[in-house]
Structure 1
């Protein structure tokens, strides 16, 4: 950990830097001694307010030295007690040193003494001694910020060993033999390659055996995330889901699965040979996916689904459900009260699995209490084990594909680590990427250090953006004009009084769970019959809505399809997470800044201006017009949006989507058997027009909304006609509006008679 003192500056706070007195002279001497003799870098600040701004803007400070006497020497508005309190609230371990010559130790309160690390008297010791004490604090702190695995990785990489093992580039040297390699090396920097190591390095433990510092890191993550066991998985949460299911589910076992699940869970059913019965999520009239009805989790409802299944043999219908899988939270931020779910399912299911890919941060904020899988409630004797899959890379800070698998043991059933590890090793590489392991280690330490403070900042910033957008929408509406809105409560009840969302205090919205709980009494969300205290909206998932559709699903005379807006934002270097027909999703995560928020609002206002002015598409989307001049040349932005809106309206695309996802097609083959037909090559591509009464061998997943519309092994018969109608309408839409092709997994496109036609892999008739 070379040169750490230079990389972790000392923040020196005093109002005396420019004065001509003995204290000021010694202060300047101290700064010089720190920089020259102790090789520390120093950031001077003249006031507590300025110093606090520095502290809030950077997390690389190694020590804070604050002159306790500033208020007596200047017109300082902030007092040192408040300054120290804020520093300690946001960083529990950074050294805080008080510098004074007037304050007696007995005058310091117990609260202040608990929050500081040292007191230095300006005139009592020599400058070299003071600088040495400070330097020692910086060094100790720098070593402490490295979590277990990352710290050992850095130590090893800095030993400059001659390696004779994999990987072949050997610390980056291999790249220097070629210009392309040199370019690659220069772009990423030496440390990336020096820390890309082999499993042959014993000092770094074993990911597959969970030994050494890898074990220490995983156990530390388990403590942080309230789990009994935590496993680092480097192939993404898709692989986490495979590990969980392969460890517990056998061919012919019954699985109770959220139809709104990620396709990796559907593949888990393929791999394990599970027999699925489905829980059906609600959708509102905007097409936003909502929660499964609570009644579906009752033993009676689950048993009725099993009895009605054509896949489950009669001899197995009395078997217990081996595994349940529920998505929490949904893409749009619908989060279940997990305590309520567990009380229902524990009577019917042997293992509970919560897919929390987009929700790894939940346990670090009281905003989400009781609404995440590892919520630390008491486990009763008969409670089944709980598994959570989390994409630590999505909304925390791990590298892409770096995920975690969390386990909480049941009341009587304990998941044996040795047995479980067989499934883990089946899906893990024997050549793990050590930088990815380190990123999971660091992501954990970050949340342990000040996760609650960071989450409070993120929620607060999301609330600010929500309030500002709602305020702009209200301002434009008062003039009979339009603007974008957000899917969120229109009004909030505080102390029995209803007020507009944008008028509600930001602190109330960012610290209280109540405003985000969905209720049937205030149906802003559009989910009919919502159960009380059952689901909440995650405030950091921002679903913007565009004009064109009312909350009740009524299509309005004018409208702006969201894909046009998000394409516009892309041209302004703003990329959203998900685009629906009349909504788009933005994620306010750890990497979001107020500058990004301001840029987003500016771009939306610019879109409004271009829309209102009907700016030619040649100026807005020149590449689109160049590629498809017949359809788009000479068209303005407003006319383009209106034409697409009228098409969606006249063809009832949202209604057809709603109908399609309310159907569970007849199951002719279990997912595993359908895939086996692919392996046998007993499949053929069939065009959509010819697919009625055929059995797809693969799942078909349209985006939006990004969930399977039909699974492999389900038949597209008359019962499933709504699915055919929706897919056919999507096909026709893409021919009418080229350049707006949607992503439909399982569907190939082929030009036929001058048109784009859908085809998919079906089992041979």
Structure 2
């Protein structure tokens, strides 16, 4: 039997244990031989023991039924046991327990067994009442527990929009584990009788209690504070939940405590109906979708359309003789909901006052922001809105050089002086990592020394990167604010929207970090630490500052923005995105400019279906985001384990670990891999809490150079064309598999089958290969795995587009628009004239963005000097898609005359050139 740490989550462990128990109990009924019988008995005992650790935290089948199953086994009632276990396993798999009572007696009839949830049509599933569970925390005996459950059940009414069952646990520790194990829990009732310690194995508990603050914090609590403290701790791990505190303490005593997610305090009373109504009301508040509901109601109204959009109400389709197939494919509702009207119960995205405004407020609550704005044309537009709202011409912006191209274009539009930051390279896999904090601090200190810190406006970083590298967001913000206390942060979280709904991931999101810093900066302890550090650092040099974990002043301003592609990682139609704001100066300084930028980039005819999907996507993650993200992580973890432990796959593939993608000195926890064949799963919490960078477990980067195919060929010719598997990202010798909240274990199983089939085909081909064919294969592998060109750093802006060679920021806008003049541009062939010019010592300057796919970010921007390293990298690229490059003409560059004219017109630049000579 596998131990608990052989599984990445309790949910997967539970599912597998019940399936194994079903198989073993069924085998008992088939008259096994004595030796097999003994083995089955041993297996079933171990399975029961394993499940006994998990089942107390779930309402179905419940501990009463679970204990009954164990008695059936002990008494040799194998037929009854097999029947009941089969029913339980089926109900857990199909979700049938969410809709009806599941009888477990062998002579019982489950009339609706064939109507399990997965087999119902969407309309029937939509009509069913959603199910959830409530957690009651009280140290009661079996009789009192039954009384509690019965009272809760009695309060349910036929008109209630939801149904729920109760789980009862005795202690604060059990309650914290329950909300981490059981994704069905939506509300917690904390009663005065709870105790602190669980009777469960303390080693197992420690792994989960870390997420709520740690064992030391829990052990130091006072008994009278157990209830309020539990409400506070649950807010750390699952802030979307509702808590209700039943207490005997006075109003005055409770008022001064941090009650976290507590919605209502009941004073020493057993008013179960009032409690029931509050529970229903709390879940209903999260279930509410103002705009989606308004759109559904609008679609039902009989209207006469005398405005734009012939497709509205589907009229242009139903009257057509030629496009009926479109109507049949999409169905009528999407057209009934199509309109350009903002009245009739709807709202305007540009000036929201009704359901869109309310939907955005609900999204702000869900994602922990102060303001949230919907966008219907992707995060590319969100990025430009934020930059235009905050950056003025001439402001200096520190930018992650390998960020998404929308940021580079945003710099052009805003007229920013761009200071590019280099990520650490991963030459072995032809990809970049992320920007070290030391590099950011170094650049800020240089700008400070040059007297330019007042012009520094924003730091722009990608979190997480396409390849899954995640910053220590709170630490980056703290140390940068210690140097520049009003610095604005734009975190591009296009691929990270899901992170809010997992306690491990949440701590590294922009909004969570901003909220933590707001609280921290207000504390007396922070003020004392700041003053103490200032005394120690007085008169020190930059090297000392770079080596020190800097503490910002208490008056530092928290100004964070996060842009998220909801459609990429959560439920939304394509191009559905959100901007999250947590800026202490938003109301006074930014709001009007933000509104203008939003109007500039947002369509006056936004797609209502996208807005509705953002509204529904928010509802989903508030109610089941925790479950879905947990399952997403499980899927990726099982993929890691399957590939890592398969002997055939190991010959040609390698799953890249944190140790492969993050240098040792950035991994303070020492964790190199989430899974080790000998030790099992590593607890991710340690590295996510400590390390400079961590690896998003939901992304699996697979090195495929050992197959002899480069990443792009493996993606297109093998995975897509042959097996129908779609992926986005490749490098020269890797492919990236991204799981999402829709990924199933079956999808993972299919991928593993495909990889095994590919490995077998390579084996067979090499078995039959001639010596020359084998030599050719080995050379291709060597070229892909060893003979890789170093990734080039950002060279520099040409003197014509920069004012200072110390800090290096450049005027990308001037370079971009100078390229509009054909007379000032020329083309050089990368296979000939460009190399010759560089060898002759000429300065060649790019006139356009050059963006190869992969990797998908600019390796040249307008105004950047072309280095020999960049040319070598371009020549080594074997991708077919390079945006900005004309194979028929070559690389677009500025003429010497155009550059010299600009240099001559800039006295500062001329002086720099003279000094250089």
Pair 1:325 & 2:460 matched: yes
Give, in whole Å, the separation in 1 of the partners of 2:400 and 2:152. Answer: 48
Contact (CA 8 Å) 2:363, 2:372: kept in 1 or not? yes
Match of residue 711 from structure 2: 562
Given that 2:703 and 2:735 are in contact with CA atoms closer than 8 Å, whether structure 1 keeps it comes out as: yes
TM-superposed CA distance for 1:72, in Å, is 9.7
Report if aligned partners of 1:614, 1:638 keep a CA contact under 8 Å in 2. no
Greater helix share, 1 or 2?
Answer: 2
Residue 493 of structure 2 is aligned to residue 356 of structure 1? yes
Residue 545 of structure 1 is matched in structure 2 by 703
2:376–2:611: 8 Å Cα contact kept in structure 1? yes
Change in 2 beyond 3 A, CA 1:419/1:54 = farther
Deviation at 1:637, TM superposition (A): 9.4
Does residue 700 of the first structure (1) align with residue 850 of the second (2)?
yes
Deviation at 1:501, TM superposition (A): 2.5
- 1:358 deviates by 0.6
In structure 1, which of residues 94, 115, 123 is the aligned counterpart of residue 131 of structure 2? Answer: 94
1:358, 1:394 within 8 Å by CA — same for their partners in 2?
Answer: yes
2:371 maps to 1:229:
yes
**Is the CA contact (8 Å cut-off) linking 1:335 and 1:371 kept in structure 2?**
yes
Question: Counterpart of 1:281 in 2: which secondary structure?
Answer: coil
Pick the aligned partner of 2:625 from 435, 442, 451. 451
Q: CA deviation at 1:500?
A: 9.2
Deviations 1:215-269 (A, max 9, x none): 0000000011110010001111000010001101111111111112111000011
Distance 1:662 1:705, change over 3 A: same
Q: How many residues align?
A: 608
Deviations 1:560-591 (A, max 9, x none): 43334322111210112211112110111012
Distance 1:601 1:722 in 2: 38
Corresponding residue to 1:212 among 354, 360, 369: 354
For the structure 1 residues 560 and 154, does the alpha-carbon distance in structure 2 shift closer, same or farther, using more than 3 Å as the test? Answer: same
| Post-superposition offset of 1:640 | 6.9
**1:715 equivalent among 865, 869, 872:** 865
Among 560, 563, 571, the residue aligned to 1:389? 563
Pick from 194, 203, 208: which aligns with 2:345?
203
**Match for residue 286 of structure 1 among 409, 414, 429:** 429
What is the alpha-carbon distance in structure 1 between the residues aligned to residue 703 and residue 613 of structure 2?
Answer: 35
What residue is the counterpart of 1:66 in the other structure? 101
Equivalent residue number for residue 303 of structure 2: 161
1:749 aligns with 2:749: no
Secondary structure of the corresponding residue to residue 292 of structure 1 = coil
Retained in 2: the 8 A contact 1:392–1:404? yes
2:749 match: secondary structure:
helix
> Match for 2:800 among 660, 668, 678?
668
Q: Work out whether 1:261 is the aligned partner of 2:403.
A: yes
Q: Unpaired runs of 5+ in structure 1?
A: 1-45, 77-90, 98-104, 121-131, 308-313, 518-531, 549-557, 618-633, 734-740, 751-756
Work out whether 1:467 is the aligned partner of 2:641: yes
The alpha carbon displacement at 1:329 in A equals 0.5
Compare 252-261 and 741-750 and name the one that shifted more. 741-750
Stretch deviating more after TM superposition (586-595 or 414-423): 414-423
CA gap 1:106/1:198 in 2 versus in 1, 3 angstroms? farther
SS at match of 2:861: coil
Deviation at 1:675, TM superposition (A): 1.9
Cα displacement (A) at 1:442: 0.9
SS at structure 1 position matched to 2:612: helix
Name the stretch that deviates more: 388-397 or 706-715. Answer: 706-715
Q: Are 1:232 and 1:405, in contact at CA under 8 Å, matched by a contact in 2?
A: yes
Question: 1:165 touches 1:200 (CA, 8 Å); kept in 2?
Answer: no
Q: Which of 651, 669, 674 lines up with 1:482 in the alignment? A: 651
Q: Secondary structure at the match of 2:429?
A: coil
Shifted more, 634-643 versus 269-278: the winner is 634-643
Of 208-217 and 560-569, deviating more is 560-569
SS in 1 for 2:882: strand
Offset at 1:502?
4.2
Asked if 1:534 corresponds to 2:673, the answer is no
Q: Deviations over 1:369-416 (max 9, x none)?
A: 421111131313312411111111111111111100010023798565
Counterpart CA distance in 2 for 1:331 and 1:243 is: 21
Q: Distance in 2 between matches of 1:276 and 1:403?
A: 26
Q: 1:187 aligns with which of 329, 332, 339?
A: 329
| Cα distance, 1:643 vs structure 2 | 5.2
- The Cα of 1:677 is off from its aligned counterpart by 1.9
Alpha-carbon shift at residue 647 of structure 1 (Å): 4.9
1:296 corresponds in structure 2 to: 439
- Find the aligned partners of 1:762 and 1:210 in 2 and give their Cα distance: 46
1:117/1:596 Cα in 2 relative to 1: closer, same or farther (>3 Å)? Answer: farther
Deviation at 1:202, TM superposition (A): 4.4
Alignment of 1:603-682 (within 5 A): 603-614=754-765, 642=778, 644-647=780-783, 652=787, 654-656=788-790, 658=791, 660-661=792-793, 663-664=795-796, 666=798, 668-669=800-801, 670-682=811-823
Q: Could you say if the C-alpha distance between residues 667 and 442 of structure 1 is closer, same or farther in structure 2, counting changes exceeding 3 Å?
A: farther
Shift of 1:648: 5.0
Q: Conserved in 2, the CA contact under 8 Å of 1:254 and 1:274?
A: yes
Deviations 1:721-762 (A, max 9, x none): 1112222333xx5xxxxxxx4322211222xxxxxx744364
Question: Shift in Å at residue 291 of structure 1?
Answer: 2.3
Give 1:342's aligned residue.
477
Structure 1 residues 366-375 or 322-331, which shifts more?
A: 366-375
Shift of the alpha carbon at 1:176?
2.9
**CA contact 1:616–1:635 (8 Å) conserved in 2:** no
Pair 1:366 & 2:511 matched: no
TM-score scaled to structure 1, two decimals?
0.71
Question: Unmatched 5+ residue regions in structure 2?
Answer: 1-82, 111-127, 135-141, 165-279, 522-554, 802-810, 838-842, 898-917
8 Å CA contact 1:702–1:743 kept in 2: the answer is: yes
Could you list the per-position Cα deviations for residues 525-555 of structure 1 after superposition, in whole angstroms to 9, with x for gaps in the alignment? xxxxxxx62111110011011244xxxxxxx
Q: Which secondary structure does the structure 2 equivalent of 1:267 belong to?
A: helix
Q: 1:156 to 1:749 in 2, by over 3 A?
A: same
CA offset at residue 294 of structure 1?
A: 1.5
Q: Could you tell me how far apart the structure 1 residues matched to 2:163 and 2:872 are?
A: 69
Q: Distance in 1 between matches of 2:147 and 2:592?
A: 49
The separation in 1 between residues aligned to 2:817 and 2:868, in whole angstroms, is 26
- Which of 384, 389, 393 lines up with 1:242 in the alignment? 384
Secondary structure, aligned partner of 2:604: coil
Query: 2: distance between equivalents of 1:543 and 1:496?
Result: 20
Relative to structure 1, is the Cα distance of residues 672 and 65 closer, same or farther in structure 2, using a 3 angstrom cutoff?
same
1:141-152 aligned at under 5 Å gives the runs 145=287, 147-152=289-294
Q: Indicate the SS of the match to 1:661.
A: coil
CA displacement at 1:341 relative to structure 2: 0.4
1:433 deviation in Å?
A: 0.5
